[in-house]
Amino acid sequence: MGSKRRTRSPSTDPPPPSRRRRLNSGPLEWRDWPALPGDVLWVILSLVPQADALLGAGLACASWWRVAAGEPLLWRHIDLADEKTYSPAACQAMARAAVQRSAGRCESFRGRVDGDVLPFLVHSAPSLRSLHVTRARGCTT
Protein backbone atom coordinates (compact mmCIF):
# COMPACT_ATOMS: atom_id res chain seq x y z
CA MET A 1 0.00 0.00 0.00
CA GLY A 2 1.32 3.32 -0.98
CA SER A 3 1.08 6.08 1.54
CA LYS A 4 -0.02 9.45 0.38
CA ARG A 5 2.54 12.10 1.06
CA ARG A 6 1.25 15.53 1.72
CA THR A 7 3.05 18.15 -0.30
CA ARG A 8 3.75 21.25 1.63
CA SER A 9 3.34 24.67 0.14
CA PRO A 10 6.44 26.68 1.08
CA SER A 11 4.53 29.90 1.37
CA THR A 12 1.83 28.68 3.73
CA ASP A 13 3.30 25.99 5.98
CA PRO A 14 6.22 26.75 8.27
CA PRO A 15 9.12 24.32 8.28
CA PRO A 16 9.15 21.78 11.10
CA PRO A 17 10.90 22.96 14.30
CA SER A 18 13.92 20.78 13.63
CA ARG A 19 14.59 22.61 10.35
CA ARG A 20 13.96 26.18 11.50
CA ARG A 21 16.98 28.43 11.62
CA ARG A 22 17.44 30.70 14.52
CA LEU A 23 17.46 34.27 13.21
CA ASN A 24 19.33 35.80 16.14
CA SER A 25 21.90 33.11 16.76
CA GLY A 26 24.35 35.45 18.46
CA PRO A 27 24.18 38.37 20.84
CA LEU A 28 22.93 41.63 19.42
CA GLU A 29 25.72 43.85 18.26
CA TRP A 30 25.55 47.47 19.39
CA ARG A 31 26.65 50.00 16.80
CA ASP A 32 27.66 53.56 17.39
CA TRP A 33 26.00 55.19 14.37
CA PRO A 34 26.92 58.76 15.38
CA ALA A 35 30.59 57.76 15.38
CA LEU A 36 30.64 56.93 11.67
CA PRO A 37 33.40 58.80 9.84
CA GLY A 38 32.33 62.00 8.11
CA ASP A 39 33.06 60.66 4.63
CA VAL A 40 30.79 57.66 5.25
CA LEU A 41 28.03 59.96 6.47
CA TRP A 42 28.57 62.12 3.39
CA VAL A 43 28.05 59.12 1.12
CA ILE A 44 24.90 58.10 3.02
CA LEU A 45 23.44 61.61 2.89
CA SER A 46 24.29 61.96 -0.81
CA LEU A 47 21.99 58.99 -1.46
CA VAL A 48 19.09 60.50 0.49
CA PRO A 49 16.69 62.86 -1.32
CA GLN A 50 17.88 66.38 -0.57
CA ALA A 51 14.57 67.49 0.91
CA ASP A 52 14.89 64.68 3.45
CA ALA A 53 18.46 65.69 4.23
CA LEU A 54 17.26 69.28 4.75
CA LEU A 55 14.36 68.34 6.97
CA GLY A 56 15.39 65.15 8.70
CA ALA A 57 19.15 64.79 9.06
CA GLY A 58 19.17 66.67 12.35
CA LEU A 59 16.63 64.24 13.75
CA ALA A 60 19.08 61.34 13.52
CA CYS A 61 21.85 62.79 15.68
CA ALA A 62 24.15 65.78 16.00
CA SER A 63 26.94 64.31 13.87
CA TRP A 64 24.53 63.63 11.00
CA TRP A 65 23.21 67.18 11.25
CA ARG A 66 26.76 68.57 11.21
CA VAL A 67 27.51 66.80 7.94
CA ALA A 68 24.16 67.72 6.36
CA ALA A 69 24.45 71.37 7.39
CA GLY A 70 28.19 71.90 7.28
CA GLU A 71 29.45 70.07 4.22
CA PRO A 72 29.08 72.43 1.22
CA LEU A 73 30.04 69.80 -1.35
CA LEU A 74 26.92 67.85 -0.40
CA TRP A 75 24.93 70.80 -1.79
CA ARG A 76 26.96 71.39 -4.96
CA HIS A 77 24.15 69.94 -7.10
CA ILE A 78 20.77 70.85 -5.63
CA ASP A 79 17.73 68.98 -6.90
CA LEU A 80 14.43 69.88 -5.29
CA ALA A 81 12.37 69.64 -8.49
CA ASP A 82 10.36 66.59 -7.46
CA GLU A 83 9.23 67.94 -4.09
CA LYS A 84 5.58 68.41 -5.02
CA THR A 85 4.23 67.32 -1.65
CA TYR A 86 5.39 70.48 0.09
CA SER A 87 3.69 73.86 0.07
CA PRO A 88 5.20 76.63 -2.08
CA ALA A 89 6.44 78.39 1.07
CA ALA A 90 8.18 75.21 2.25
CA CYS A 91 9.79 74.74 -1.18
CA GLN A 92 11.10 78.30 -1.08
CA ALA A 93 12.52 77.78 2.42
CA MET A 94 14.18 74.51 1.37
CA ALA A 95 15.68 76.19 -1.71
CA ARG A 96 17.13 79.01 0.41
CA ALA A 97 18.49 76.59 3.02
CA ALA A 98 20.10 74.34 0.41
CA VAL A 99 21.76 77.28 -1.36
CA GLN A 100 23.02 78.64 1.98
CA ARG A 101 24.43 75.23 2.87
CA SER A 102 26.31 75.16 -0.43
CA ALA A 103 28.37 78.15 0.79
CA GLY A 104 28.70 79.56 -2.72
CA ARG A 105 29.66 76.22 -4.29
CA CYS A 106 26.29 75.41 -5.87
CA GLU A 107 26.93 74.48 -9.51
CA SER A 108 23.46 73.32 -10.49
CA PHE A 109 19.99 73.97 -9.16
CA ARG A 110 16.66 72.33 -10.01
CA GLY A 111 13.53 73.32 -8.18
CA ARG A 112 10.48 75.49 -7.80
CA VAL A 113 11.25 79.09 -6.96
CA ASP A 114 9.37 82.37 -6.94
CA GLY A 115 10.43 85.93 -7.70
CA ASP A 116 11.99 86.37 -4.25
CA VAL A 117 14.18 83.28 -4.24
CA LEU A 118 15.55 83.67 -7.77
CA PRO A 119 17.60 86.84 -7.03
CA PHE A 120 18.81 85.20 -3.80
CA LEU A 121 19.89 82.16 -5.79
CA VAL A 122 21.75 84.24 -8.37
CA HIS A 123 23.49 86.30 -5.68
CA SER A 124 24.36 83.39 -3.37
CA ALA A 125 25.59 80.91 -5.97
CA PRO A 126 28.43 82.50 -7.99
CA SER A 127 29.54 79.05 -9.24
CA LEU A 128 26.11 78.31 -10.75
CA ARG A 129 26.44 76.75 -14.21
CA SER A 130 23.08 75.04 -14.64
CA LEU A 131 19.71 76.43 -13.62
CA HIS A 132 16.37 74.70 -14.08
CA VAL A 133 13.57 76.47 -12.26
CA THR A 134 9.84 76.16 -12.36
CA ARG A 135 7.39 78.56 -10.87
CA ALA A 136 6.02 77.50 -7.52
CA ARG A 137 2.30 76.80 -7.61
CA GLY A 138 0.32 79.53 -5.98
CA CYS A 139 2.96 82.18 -6.63
CA THR A 140 1.95 85.25 -8.56
CA THR A 141 5.39 86.80 -9.01
Q: What does the pLDDT look like over 64-80, one tens digit per residue?
A: 888 899 999 999 999 99
Q: What is the pLDDT of residue 112?
A: 87
Q: What is the DSSP string of 39-104?
A: HHHHHHHHHS-HHHHHHHHHHH-HHHHHHHHH-GGGGSEEE-TT-TTS-HHHHHHHHHHHHHHHTT
Element (H, E) at 124: helix 117-124
For residues 81 and 8, give the distance between their C-alpha atoms in angstroms, rounded to a whole number: 50
For residues 82 and 136, give the distance between their C-alpha atoms in angstroms, rounded to a whole number: 12
Per the structure, how many domains does the chain have? 1
Q: What is the pLDDT of residue 76?
A: 96
Q: Is residue 129 part of a domain?
A: yes
Q: What is the pLDDT of residue 21?
A: 52
Q: Is 141 exposed, middle or buried (0-12, 13-18, 19+ CB in 10 A)?
A: exposed
Mean pLDDT of 110-117: 88
Q: Is residue 140 part of a domain?
A: no
For residues 130 and 108, give the distance between their C-alpha atoms in angstroms, rounded to a whole number: 5
Q: Is residue 59 part of a domain?
A: yes
Q: Is residue 12 part of a domain?
A: no
Collapsed DSSP state (helix, strand, coil) of residue 113: strand
Q: Is residue 1 part of a domain?
A: no
Q: What is the pTM of this model?
A: 0.70
Mean pLDDT of 11-35: 60
Q: Is residue 30 part of a domain?
A: no
Q: Is residue 2 part of a domain?
A: no
3 pLDDT more than 70: no
Q: Is residue 104 part of a domain?
A: yes
For residues 116 and 123, give the distance between their C-alpha atoms in angstroms, rounded to a whole number: 12
To the nearest whole percent, how much of the chain has pLDDT over 90? Answer: 30
Give the range of the structural domain holding residue 116, as residue numbers without chain letter: 36-135
44 pLDDT more than 80: yes
